[in-house]
Amino acid sequence: MRFVWAVVAFVLATVLIGAGIAQRTVFMGPTEQRMELSVGEPEPYVLVDAEVLRAHPGLQTLLVRGEGEIFVAYGRTSDMTAWLSDTAYNSITLNGEGSPKAEHVDAALSPADGAESPGRDPRGSDLWLDSFSEEDSLVAPLQLTEGNSVLISRDGVEPAPADVLVSWRLDTRTPLAGPLITAGAVMLAAGLVLYVLAIRYQRRGRGPRRKGPGPLPPTEPIGVTAAPERQAIDAGADAGDGPDEPPRTEDNKAAEGSHAGRADRRALTRRVGLAVPALAVTAILATGCTAESWPQLGAESPTPTPTPSVVAPENQKPPAIGEKQADRVIADIVATIEKADAERDIELAETRVTGPALEARRTDYALRGKLADREPQVTAPRDEVSILLPEATDSWPRTVLVLTVAEGDETVPPVMLSMTQADPWSNYRVSDIAEMPASGQFPDVAPAWLGTTRVPAESPFLSLAPEALADAFSDFVDAGDKSEFAGSFDEVAQKLAADVRASRETVVKGLADKNASKTSKASFDMKPASGEPMSMATLDSGAIVSVSVVDTETVTPTTKDAVIRFGDNAEAKALTGATEAAKGVVTTYGMQLYFSVPAQGSNEQIRLLAYKQNLLSVKVIK
C-alpha cells in the first residue's frame, strides 16, 4: 500500500510542478504591447501627444532609433507648442479608432525680418520637465499624464529620427505559479519518503520466518539402532549448510549480519542520493520564481495621500516650473554663476543673471581684475532648493521665487533669489539675489505643485502697495524716526537702516578727521532703482515683495581751490582711473531687498526677509 501512496504522490507532484512551470512559460503570453509611430514629410521636430503614450494602461517606454545623436524631452503641451510656434513640425495624435496619426503643422509665427527661421537647438532649454540624449538609440521610460507631450529631435536642423516605437508592459503576474511549484515539491518529498519506507518494509519481510510444527509422524517402535542415528545428528549440528561448506561459527554469523546491514544501508543511500537531487531541482524551481509568481497576501494596502490643506482655486493656472525641473535649472544656474565668478566672465554671467544682480557682478569683476587681493563681494545661489514658489501662469514672462541653502552646512546663510523666463525660447535669469539673516523667517506660502499669483504693483490689498515699498524704505533710511514709515518696518529692517546711517556718519567723520570738513561736504540720497517690483502672494493674503534701491554718496569740494583726493580708496582709483577729482566724486551702491508685506488692515509690521548691498560705480564729476 505504501508503494501505491508513493505513486499517487509522484503523480500529484508532476501535475502541480508542471502546472506551475506552464504558467510561467506557455500560458504566460506576451510581456508588452507595441505601437509604431511614423511621419510623412520629415521635419527637425516631432511632437508626440500624451494621448498616444496613454493609449494603453501602464508605464510607457519610448524607443527612438537613428544614426547620430538623439534628443527626447517632455513637458507641458502648451509650453511645447509655444516653443514650436515659429517653426514647422510633425504632430502625432490618435485618430477616432485609437491609431496614431501624423499631421504636419506649419509655423504659426513668422520671423520678424521675414527670413526663414533658423534651426533652434532644443538641448539645454529650461522649458522641459526632463530630457534625454543618446547616440543612435534612445530608450526613455515615461509616465506621462494628460496635458503633456514628448518632443523628438536632434539639433533643430537635421530631420528628427523616423524610427519611433512606443511599448507598454503588460501584466504578466502568475500568483499561482509559486504555490503550485512549492506544493509539487512537498508532494514529491512525501512520495520519496513513502517509497523509502515501502522498500525498508519489504526488505525486512524477506528474512527467515518461524513456522508452526507439521503433523506428527505415525508412532513406531523404537529400535536399538536409534542411538547411533542420534549421534550422527548430534555430530552434524555444527556442520555447514552444505556438504562443501565450512562450519558456521559465531564469528561467521556476525560477519554475515554485518554484510547484510551494509548492503541495506548502501541501497538506502542510493535512494536518498536520487531523492536529494530531485528535491534540489524542485527547490531551485520554486526559489527561482520572482515576486510576480506569488500572491501578494502580505502586501500593505496603499496609504492614502493626505489631502493638502491648500485647495487650488477654480481655473488655477499651472505652476511656471516643476520641482524636478527647478532642481535642474538651479543646478545649471549655480554652475554657470560659479564659473563666471571664478573667471570674471561677464558674458557667461549674462546668460543666467540680469538686472541689479548683473550690474553688481559687472563692477565686482572689474575691481577684482585690477585689485589682485580683492575677494568676490557678490552673492551666489546655494546648491540646494529649500523653498520653491513659482508663479501660476501659462504665459510669459514667468517669475519664480527660490530660497536656496547650502547642503549640509547650516552656518552658511540661505540665499533668496528671483528668476524670470522672458519667453519660451529663453532660459531663466536671476534678477535679484540676497542673503537671509539668521533671524529671518520665511512666511507661509503655497506648495510648489500649486504655485501662486503675481500681485499687481499698485495692489490696494496690501498694507503698502509694492510700487511704494522702495520709496517708503528709502525715506525711512534718509529721515530716520522723522519718516512717516518709521513704525512700519520690523527690527531687522530698522537695524539695516541704522547700519546705513552709521556708514554715512563714518564718511562725514572721515572728512573731519582729515581736516576736509570745511573744504568739502558729503551728501547722501537713497531712491528706488528702475524696474518694477516683483510681488508673490502668500497664504495669509500678504505678499513677498522684491525691490531694489540705489544709495548715492556724493562728496564735493566747497571751495574752488579744493580737490577731492581718493587717498587709500583703492576701489575709487580702480574704477575711475584717477587719484583725485576737482569737482567731486559720486559713489553708488545698489541694495536688493526682500520684504514680507502683510495684508491690508493687518497690525503686523513689514518684515525684511533678505538683503544684499553691492558697490555699483564710482564716477568723477565732470
- Taking only the tens place, the pLDDT of each residue in 49-99 is 988 988 888 788 899 998 899 999 999 999 999 999 989 999 999 888 888
| Domain co-membership, 338 together with 415 | yes
Q: Is 347 part of any domain?
A: yes
CB 522 within 8 A of CB 558: no
Q: Are 177 and 150 part of one and the same domain?
A: no
Q: Grid coordinates representing 48?
A: 508626440
- DSSP symbol at 196: H
Give yes or no: residues 3 and 112 share one domain: no
Confidence at residue 12, expressed as pLDDT on a 0 to 100 scale: 87
Q: Could you tell me if 138 and 18 lie in one domain?
A: no
d(CA 323, CA 128): 12
Q: CA distances (Å), 74 to each of 25, 126, 130, 401, 468, in order?
A: 37, 11, 6, 23, 41
**Could you tell me if 80 and 196 lie in one domain?**
no
Reference 489, options 508, 470, 461, 516; nearest CA is 470
The answer on 38 and 25 residing in a single domain is: no
Residue 589 belongs to a domain: yes
Q: Does residue 504 have a pLDDT over 60? A: yes
**Which contacts qualify for 417-421: CB closer than 8 Å, 24 or more apart?**
417/357, 417/381, 418/534, 418/546, 419/329, 419/333, 420/354, 421/126, 421/127, 421/320, 421/396, 421/397
Confidence label for 364 from pLDDT (cuts 50, 70 and 90) = very high
Residue 195 shares a structural domain with residue 120: no
Count: domains in the chain:
3
User: Do 531 and 495 share a structural domain?
Assistant: yes
Least confident of 70-74, 195-199, 395-399, 550-554: 195-199
Give the pLDDT of residue 619: 96
Instruction: Find the domain containing 37 and state its range.
Output: 32-155
Same domain, 505 and 477: yes
> Is 262 a member of any domain?
no
**Dihedral of the CA atoms 213, 218, 220, 225 (nearest 10)?**
-40
pLDDT of residue 294: 64
Decide: residue 15, CB within 10 A, 0-12 exposed, 13-18 middle, 19+ buried.
Answer: middle
Together in a domain, 283 and 420: no
Judgement on whether residues 453 and 499 belong to the same structural domain of the protein: yes
Any domain includes 299:
no
Least confident piece of the model among 114-118, 485-489, 538-542? 114-118
Amino acid at 187: M
Residues 17 and 36 occupy one common structural domain: no
Residue 250 located in a structural domain: no
